[in-house]
């Protein structure tokens, strides 16, 4: 399935509004997070930073997606800017556009069930893998390596969303 375009209200760590088509020909890792999500801070963001450090930017692009579905007043852009500085996050970060319903637009379009979520796009912009929660470095490296070698990554089974948002060590669910 072709990846839906990101619905963004603001970008950080880039001088322009980015589109997924800007990354055509590269594997793209989209890391959806909330700055107050323990699993995002402990597992998700460090994994995205490792991918950025260990793969060539000519082959793999990392994009953060700050997708807020709770604690809206605490997670405003000014707080996100400080968070990105403190955690030394240098990859582009999009702020998911708030939808008419309770969930942000990109989160809804991708069928994300919470944070941290990770979506891998193949070089043609198709969704190759979709993960919720903690993903091991070994698994991520293998999936990216397979995509770089031209093979489809294995899809992880999806998880169903809960009826209320909950946060724990491994992530926050909607």
Q: Is residue 128 part of a domain?
A: yes
Q: Is residue 64 part of a domain?
A: yes
Tell me the C-alpha to C-alpha distance, in Å, between residue 75 and each of 17, 95, 159: 21, 10, 25
Q: Is residue 48 part of a domain?
A: no
The CATH number that applies at residue 93 is 3.40.30.10
Q: Is residue 172 part of a domain?
A: yes
Give the pLDDT confidence score for residue 101 in this predicted structure. 80
pLDDT per 10-residue tile (average), the chain, 174 residues: 94 95 96 92 95 96 89 76 95 92 90 93 95 93 94 44 51 62
Q: Beta-strand (E) ranges in 67-155?
A: 93-96, 114-115, 117-121, 127-132
Phi and psi at 67, nearest 5°, equal -115, 105
Q: Is residue 134 part of a domain?
A: yes
Give the pLDDT confidence score for residue 70 in this predicted structure. 67
Q: Is residue 108 part of a domain?
A: yes
The neighbouring-strand residues paired with 61 are 28
Distance CA 64, CA 49 (A): 10
Per the structure, the complete domain to which residue 74 belongs is given by 1-12+53-154+163-174
Q: Would strands 127-132 and 171-173 be described as parallel, antiparallel, or unpaired?
A: unpaired
Distance CA 157, CA 10 (A): 31
How confident is the model over 58-82, as pLDDT tens digits? 999 999 999 987 666 666 888 999 9
Give the pLDDT confidence score for residue 43 in this predicted structure. 93
Q: Is residue 112 part of a domain?
A: yes
Give the pLDDT confidence score for residue 29 in this predicted structure. 98
DSSP state of 36: T
Number of domains in the chain: 1
Give the pLDDT confidence score for residue 77 in this predicted structure. 86
């Amino acid at each position: 399935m072709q990846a839906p375009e990101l619905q963004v209200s603001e970008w950080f760590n880039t001088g322009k509004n980015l589109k997924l088509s800007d990354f055509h020909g590269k594997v793209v890792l989209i890391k959806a997070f909330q700055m107050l999500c323990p699993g995002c801070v402990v597992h998700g963001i460090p994994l995205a930073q490792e991918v950025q450090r260990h793969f060539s930017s000519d082959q793999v692009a990392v994009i953060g997606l700050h997708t807020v579905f709770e604690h809206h007043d605490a997670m405003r852009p000014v707080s996100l800017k400080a968070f990105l500085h403190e955690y030394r996050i240098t990859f582009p970060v999009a702020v998911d556009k708030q939808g008419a319903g309770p969930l942000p637009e990109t989160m809804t379009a991708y069928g994300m069930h919470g944070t941290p979520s990770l979506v891998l796009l193949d070089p043609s912009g198709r969704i190759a893998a979709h993960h919720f929660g903690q993903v091991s470095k070994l698994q991520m490296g293998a999936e990216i390596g397979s995509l770089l070698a031209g093979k489809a990554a294995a899809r992880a089974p999806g998880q169903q969303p809960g009826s209320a948002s909950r946060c724990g060590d491994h992530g926050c669910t909607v």
